A = this chain, B = another copy of it.
Amino acid sequence: MNGLKEKVLTLDTMNPCVRRVEYAVRGPIVLRALELEQELRQGVKKPFTEVVRANIGDAQAMGQKPITFLRQVLALCVHPDLLNSPDFPEDARRRAERILQACGGHSLGAYSVSSGIQLIREDAARYIERRDGGIPADPNNIFLSTGASDAIVTVLKLLVAGEGPTRTGVLIPIPQYPLYSAALAELDAVQVDYYLDEERAWALDVAELRRALCQARGHCCPRALCIINPGNPTGQVQARECIEAVIRFAFEERLFLMADEVYQDNVYAEGSRFHSFKKVLMEMGPPYATQQELASFHSVSKGYMGECGFRGGYVEVVNMDPAVQQQMQKLMSVRLCPPVPGQALLHTVVSPPTPSDPSFAQFQAERQAVLAELAAKAKLTEQVFNEAPGIRCNPVQGAMYAFPRVQLPPRAVQHAQELGLAPDMFFCMRLLEETGICVVPGSGFGQREGTYHFRMTILPPMEKLRPLLETLSQFHAKFTREYS
């Protein structure tokens, strides 16, 4: 009989790439928020009565109601006995029947083909065509996915190759959505940072792209450029000229473009408009339109839907080598298929009710209400923060987040460092402990050395958002006094 053995799998023996992964959106601050919620439930006294989770872009968790038509269709798909029920509008019933016809065994419970149900890919193509003013989209270039996350990781996975100085480098914005840094760490690719310009409302500057690229060329092989538009965590919406400049740059420098456009429906600021990379690329004509490789990502998690839990999404690829596209298809088939309920939900999004449908009026009204409230919350957030001394917030042109810059007194910075914490982590932890407000420190997204930020979603309901913003501003003032 053997004595005590060491574990086979330990921190020392496990995959070192996985160990290097960091993921702030669900990091220590969120674990602490969970604990605080438990303590509150157990009756422990706190200076607040509830934890407000402004850390993650999860609209329905914050009380946003699902769009009725989407859920009606889905309920009918899940339980087709309801198809005879008079409680459902006729267009929802027709829609559910159409989706079920396209499913194996006419059931959501069958695997679909790995790239997604053909009908849904076709209607997604038509949706993209409408969005892009008639520029054609090919259903064969559309792959449904398990949320946008899955598709993003899949495309990154294809791109990773080489070792040492030929290792794939991928340019990502700083600040970034941390899926990118996490996936690159896991895949052992080189993260190449380009900085968005906070002074110009987080604009993307080609000169900065070039700087980042040149610096990276010494030690890796940069092969892809990621753009998040509208931006997370930064909330900017890119101007058309900027997108053109980025495309020209990518073409000249031979970079595969990855456009994360999951917030394409979330544009609020006057004068801001969403331009898809695909449309701009096509309108630029050859050689860009015919040669530049592009992958564009979308999701049912954001927009007016906020159906994060369903894990629906897709990627459209443009000018991808057909042989590589086949490899992508093969890779996706190993995991069998994206969740079919999420695919069905995506169908209602890419093919919403039209004016002649019975559900149209309600659908439109619900959709507009969600988007109008988000726009109002974006404005309010910017405004309240900018009234607070020591906080400066760029306009929230789109997406679902504010990423304000906070001044932290040198003594607070020093104190944090003594505790082994990033100064903005220290600030956010104190904020959480004293007010119950859960936001994510800027260090989780990346920021210029010596600057401090936090990311807060604009999703709390209006009646909670205003007091929350004020509490936060007051806390910052108190924190500043305390360490001055």
Residues of A within 8 A of B (CB): 1-5, 7-11, 13-16, 18-19, 21, 23, 25-26, 34, 56, 58-64, 66, 71-72, 74-75, 78-79, 81-82, 85, 87, 103-105, 107-114, 146-147, 149-150, 153, 157-161, 179, 182-183, 186, 223-224, 251-252, 254-256, 287, 291, 293, 301, 305-311, 319-321, 323-324, 327, 330-331, 333-342
Asked if A339 and B309 sit within 8 Å, CB to CB, the answer is yes
On whether A320 and B112 interact (CB within 8 A), knowing A79-B72, A287-B1, A339-B342, the answer reads no
Contacts of A160 in B (CB 8 A): 15
Expressed in whole angstroms, the minimum distance between the Cβ of A324 and any Cβ of chain B is 5
Which residues of chain B are near A291, meaning CB under 8 Å? 4-5, 7
Contact in complex: B108, A161 (CB < 8 Å): no
Chain B residues with CB under 8 A of A59? 109
A182 to chain B, nearest CB (A): 4
Cross-chain contact A105 with B26 (CB below 8 angstroms): no
Measured between alpha carbons, how far is A256 from B334 in the docked complex, in Å?
23
Which among A8, A108, A254, A287 has the greatest number of chain B C-beta atoms within 10 A?
A8
Bound CA span A141–B111, Å: 28
Q: Does B339 lie within 8 Å of A9, measured CB to CB? A: no
Residues of B contacting A324 with CB < 8 Å?
7, 9-11, 14
Residues of B within 8 A of A85 (CB): 87
**Bound-complex Cα distance A150 to B334 (A):** 10
State the Cβ distance, A69 to closest chain B Cβ, in Å: 11
A104, B58: Cβ atoms closer than 8 Å: yes
The CA-CA distance from A5 to B251 in the complex, in Å, is 9
Q: How far is the CA of A291 from the CA of B58 in the complex (A)?
A: 40
Q: List 6 A-B contacts (CB under 8 A).
A: A5-B251, A8-B224, A58-B104, A60-B105, A75-B79, A109-B305
Residue among A9, A182, A320, A336 facing the most chain B CB atoms (10 A cut-off)? A9
By a CB distance below 8 angstroms, the chain B residues around A107 are: 60-61, 66, 309
Of the listed residues A114, A307, A309, A334, the one surrounded by the most CB atoms of chain B closer than 10 A to its CB is A309
Q: Are B149 and A336 in contact (CB under 8 A)?
A: yes
B110 near A308 with CB under 8 A, answer: yes
Who on chain B is nearest to A148 by CB? B336
Beyond the given A21-B331, A75-B75, could you list 8 further A-B residue pairs with CB under 8 A, ordered by the A residue number? A8-B256, A11-B321, A66-B107, A85-B87, A107-B309, A146-B146, A153-B335, A179-B334
- Determine whether the beta carbon of A327 is less than 8 Å from that of B14: yes
Contact of A11 among B71, B74, B224, B323 (CB under 8 A): B323
Return the contact of A8 from the options B81, B147, B293 (Cβ within 8 A): B293
Residues of B within 8 A of A335 (CB): 146-147, 149-150, 153
Contacts A2-B252, A85-B87, A287-B5 given; does A159 touch B14 at CB 8 Å: yes
Q: Are B320 and A9 in contact (CB under 8 A)?
A: yes
* Residues on the B chain within 8 Å of A223, using CB: 8-9, 13
User: In angstroms, how far is the closest chain B Cβ from the Cβ of A92?
Assistant: 10
Q: How far is the CB of A346 from chain B (nearest CB, A)?
A: 12
- A111-B61, A147-B336 given; A9·B255 CB < 8 A: no
**Minimum C-beta distance from A370 to chain B (A):** 12
Smallest beta-carbon distance A319→chain B, Å: 8
Residue among A78, A179, A254 with most chain B CB within 10 A: A78
Using A14-B161, A158-B18, A223-B8 as known contacts, say yes or no to A309 and B109 having CB atoms under 8 A apart. yes
3 nearest interchain CB pairs? A309-B340, A61-B104, A75-B79
A482 to B7, CA, bound (A): 57
Smallest CB–CB gap between A343 and chain B, Å?
A: 8
Specify the chain B residue showing the minimal Cβ separation from A107. B60
Per the bound structure, the CA–CA distance linking A157 and B15 in Å amounts to: 7
Chain B residues near A186: list those with CB within 8 A: 157, 331, 334
Partner of A158, one of B14, B82, B183, B251: B14
Q: Known contacts A293-B8, A341-B310: does B105 contact A61 (CB below 8 Å)? A: yes
- A112 in contact with B309 given A8-B223, A75-B82 (CB within 8 Å): yes
Do A78 and B71 have beta carbons less than 8 Å apart?
yes
Partner of A334 from B15, B21, B79, B307 at Cβ < 8 Å? B21
In the bound complex, residues from chain B placing their C-beta under 8 Å from that of A21 are 330-331, 334
A25, A58, A62, A301 — most chain B CB neighbours (10 Å): A58
